[in-house]
């Protein structure tokens, strides 16, 4: 196992009827900005409940944070934070609103050009660059990204999606009430199951380093998602199924399963280009890219693919290659059982678009991806060709 630091200061309040706790978690004299997306937070009454929990505190609202949140939108909110002397942010939404709120929190505290903050990539933006950030809490309404308990976000700018990380960007608290997710459309629930699944494989399907705890937690998350995936889509108000999705998604990307082990993230980086170019939902891009990525990288990942086949899919018969093939096939079938298409052609993307996607990867410096930093543009091309 590799050396690691593990730090996660986010308080989680899990379960039904937790919104009233906001009163104890937000400073009594706070000047609060509630951030939200299009219409769901208003339409389903979550904002009203949050306002009522905030009592007499001064409250402002900033809505309209779009899926794959745009820099231009978030900058307006950061200006509002400065203008109105806001000292606490409260995000109500899924990954886009929470990521956007992280960026607002950092940008409002940064004296330079906020575009600088998009340039750090996977290097965390440290205290030396931003002295402090505006503290924020979250009310999660879409289980998928893990943003509610991590310090990263993904911001859209121009034709790119830029990761932003900072230790200052952990939420101080997150309310995870599975009942707030009952109103999600089925396709968004499927996106959430797939995103949590692929977050786990990005940290698990690499090469063995004797990270036994990390492996077994990852296998537990994957098996849970396989068990509850179809049920939580078919039965949105099945509390136990949905609660297991919510907690799986949080644990899949809160720093626990990546501590001390290699990490891949190539499916995410290629997938981000598909979202930026063609507007495909984040979770759907992963369902398209993961199966061919595993096929192309089967030698690098052989030992973990065999472990995955045996422990997650209970495949024990046949040659090593047969077992790996079956595990990849079962992964694809699982995504399809959730209603997700797994081919680029399902999104009307043909071979003629592959050079465009490769050019984007090159522009964004995605030329040495994966846990071994040797997934070149040629290999990305092979993955995309197999994804057609």
Measured in whole angstroms, how far is the alpha carbon of residue 59 from the centre of its chain?
28
d(CA 345, CA 350): 6
Joined together, the tokens standing for residue 28 give: 């009594």
Q: How far is CA 360 from CA 71, 105, 363, in A?
A: 19, 29, 5
Question: Which CB sits closer to Zn ion, 195 or 295?
Answer: 195
User: Angle at CA 385, nearest 5°, toward 383 and 387?
Assistant: 70
Residue of the chain from 10, 101, 141, 206 that contacts ligand NZQ (CB under 6 A): 141
d(CA 275, CA 105): 24
- By the 8 A CB rule, do 227 and 193 touch? no
Which string of x and - marks every residue 173-192 that binds ligand NZQ (by CB under 6 A)? -------xx-xx---x--x-
- Minimum Å gap between C-beta 98 and ligand NZQ is 7
**Window contacting Zn ion (CB under 5 A); options: 105-113, 194-202, 240-248, 368-376:** 194-202
Question: Which of Zn ion, ligand NZQ, none does residue 152 bind to, with CB < 5 to 8 Å depending on kind?
Answer: ligand NZQ
**Residue 99 in the binding site for Zn ion (CB under 5 A):** no
User: Angle at CA 220, nearest 5°, toward 189 and 96?
Assistant: 35
d(CA 163, CA 199): 15
Question: Which of Zn ion, ligand NZQ, none does residue 68 bind to, with CB < 5 to 8 Å depending on kind?
Answer: ligand NZQ
Helix, strand or coil, per DSSP, at residue 101: helix
Site for ligand NZQ (CB under 6 A): how many residues? Answer: 35
Instruction: State which of positions 207-236 bind ligand NZQ (CB under 6 A).
Output: none
H/E element holding 269? helix 266-278
Which string of x and - marks every residue 7-46 that binds ligand NZQ (by CB under 6 A)? ------------------------------xxxxx--x--
**Residue 195 in the binding site for Zn ion (CB under 5 A):** yes
Which string of x and - marks every residue 327-366 that binds ligand NZQ (by CB under 6 A)? ----------------------------------------
d(CA 266, CA 135): 31
Q: Give contact residues for Zn ion (rule: CB under 5 A).
A: 195
Q: Give contact residues for ligand NZQ (rule: CB under 6 A).
A: 37-41, 44, 67-68, 93-97, 99, 141-142, 144-147, 150, 152-154, 161, 180-181, 183-184, 188, 191, 195, 253, 268, 282
């Amino acid at each position: 196992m590799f050396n690691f630091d593990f730090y996660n200061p986010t308080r989680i309040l899990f379960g039904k009827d937790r919104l009233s706790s906001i009163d104890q978690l937000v400073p009594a004299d706070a000047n609060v900005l509630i951030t939200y997306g299009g219409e769901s937070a208003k339409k389903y009454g979550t904002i009203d409940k949050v306002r009522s929990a905030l009592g007499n505190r001064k409250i402002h609202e900033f809505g309209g944070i779009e899926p794959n949140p745009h820099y231009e939108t978030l900058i307006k909110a950061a200006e509002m934070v400065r203008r109105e002397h806001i000292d606490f942010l409260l995000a109500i939404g899924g990954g886009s609103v929470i990521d956007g709120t992280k960026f607002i929190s950092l940008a409002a505290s940064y004296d330079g050009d906020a575009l600088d903050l998009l340039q750090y990539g996977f290097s965390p933006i440290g205290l030396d660059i931003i002295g402090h950030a505006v503290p924020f809490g979250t009310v999660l309404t879409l289980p998928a990204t893990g943003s509610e308990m991590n310090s990263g976000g993904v911001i859209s700018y121009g034709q790119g999606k830029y990761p932003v990380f900072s230790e200052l960007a952990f939420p101080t608290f997150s309310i995870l009430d599975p009942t707030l997710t009952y109103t999600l459309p089925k396709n968004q629930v499927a996106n959430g199951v797939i995103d949590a699944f692929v977050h786990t494989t990005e940290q698990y399907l690499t090469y063995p380093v004797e990270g036994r705890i990390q492996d077994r937690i990852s296998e537990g998350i994957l098996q849970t998602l396989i068990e509850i995936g179809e049920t939580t889509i078919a039965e949105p108000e099945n509390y136990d199924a949905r609660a297991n999705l919510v907690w799986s998604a949080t644990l899949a990307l809160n720093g626990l399963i990546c501590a001390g082990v290699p990490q891949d993230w190539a499916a995410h980086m290629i997938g981000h280009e598909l979202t930026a170019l063609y507007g495909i939902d984040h979770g759907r891009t992963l369902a398209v890219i993961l199966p061919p990525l595993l096929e192309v990288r089967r030698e690098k990942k052989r030992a973990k693919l065999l472990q995955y086949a045996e422990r997650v899919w209970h495949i024990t018969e046949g040659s090593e290659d047969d077992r790996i093939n079956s595990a990849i096939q079962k992964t694809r079938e699982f995504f399809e059982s959730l209603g997700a298409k797994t081919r680029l052609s399902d999104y009307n993307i043909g071979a003629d678009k592959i050079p465009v996607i490769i050019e984007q990867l090159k522009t964004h410096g995605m030329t040495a991806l994966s846990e071994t930093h040797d997934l070149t543009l040629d290999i990305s091309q092979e993955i995309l060709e197999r994804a057609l």
